[in-house]
Amino acid sequence: MNDFELTLLAVDQVMSSQKLPIFKPYGVMAATTDFAILTGNEVAEYHFCRDDKPHLTGRSGAYWLKPSSSLAFRRLYQDTNCIDAFGDGENVRYVSFTHGIRPVLIASQEFLEQLERKTGYMGITEVTFGEYPQYVEQDSEKVNLLDRLYKENKLKLTGKAYTVDGYKFELDAIYSSMYVMEYEWNKEKYVITGLTKGYSSDVKLSNGELLQNGKPYWIKVEPITWLYDEKTNLLISKRILLSGIPLFLDSDVKDFDESFLKKFMDTFMAKEIIPSNLKTDVTLLDENEALHNYVYWKKPTKNK
């Protein structure tokens, strides 16, 4: 499915006089998901997005920006390459795993017209498209049942997987990624992961539970909500979906289209947001195939 492309917000779209109109009422902060927190996202415990009530699902997180191609602009904004968890522009190391992906979707007008629209916060148009693991399952009875079915190998694999970085703590490690498999139960989809990248136990997940390193969590796969900027025809993810992926692996590279993160989004994320019931032939890389010769992918196994 090649009807759209994923990218990032550019620095000038969030920080300058050219700021997208959508950010004037909405602000530039983005809520982070539990899946992003588990993969390393920096979260502000007491800063919330404007359209979210003070609730753990609305906490602001840090996310990458597309570096400006203008040298003068980079100097003006001191090489800003991200928005931090407090909503401010910042320059961080390109290999930081604490800054997440807030994807932007570029598509044709014909594609956009097929999406159902609704009016959200401050009259901003929202659309729902695709799905991704986002928040932990809140129902303890469901969690216990999923645990039991998983141990008994009775959960159905959908054939879809989500690509994440497998390293937990090393900032300068060679980035070795892994698949997180998607399961289906009672028409609901989940992934289970124990990734707790670099966090201590003083961080809470959206269910109020203190994060425990290595503990497996059931994350529900949910529809992605996008903010629709009607002037530019861009769809901007309302939430940060994933963390742990570096912007560049070579700090001398400034072209986002040649960046590691762009290749990751094109190769994996753009395919993985498509629901498994719409696309069952998701392409998985063969074992030992590498991206940039830095990331080695493990091919998932299917139920026998």
Total domains in the chain come to: 1
- Identify the pLDDT of residue 155: 94
Contact 97, 164 (CB under 8 A): no
Residue 66 carries which side chain, given as an amino acid letter?
A: K
- Identify the pLDDT of residue 301: 38
Q: Structural domain of residue 116, as residue ranges?
A: 4-296
Most confident option among 77-86, 104-113, 270-279: 104-113
Count Cβ neighbours within 10 Å for each residue of 239-260 and write b for 16 or more, e otherwise: bbbbbbbbbbbeeeebebeebb
Q: Does 186 map to a domain?
A: yes
295 has a pLDDT exceeding 50: no
C-alpha–C-alpha distance, residues 63 and 172, integer Å: 19
Residue 163 carries which side chain, given as an amino acid letter?
A: T
Of 52-66, 149-163, 217-231, minimum mean pLDDT range: 52-66
Could you tell me which residue, 166 or 57, shows the higher pLDDT?
57
Q: Does 20 map to a domain?
A: yes
Q: Does 164 map to a domain?
A: yes
Q: Does 304 map to a domain?
A: no
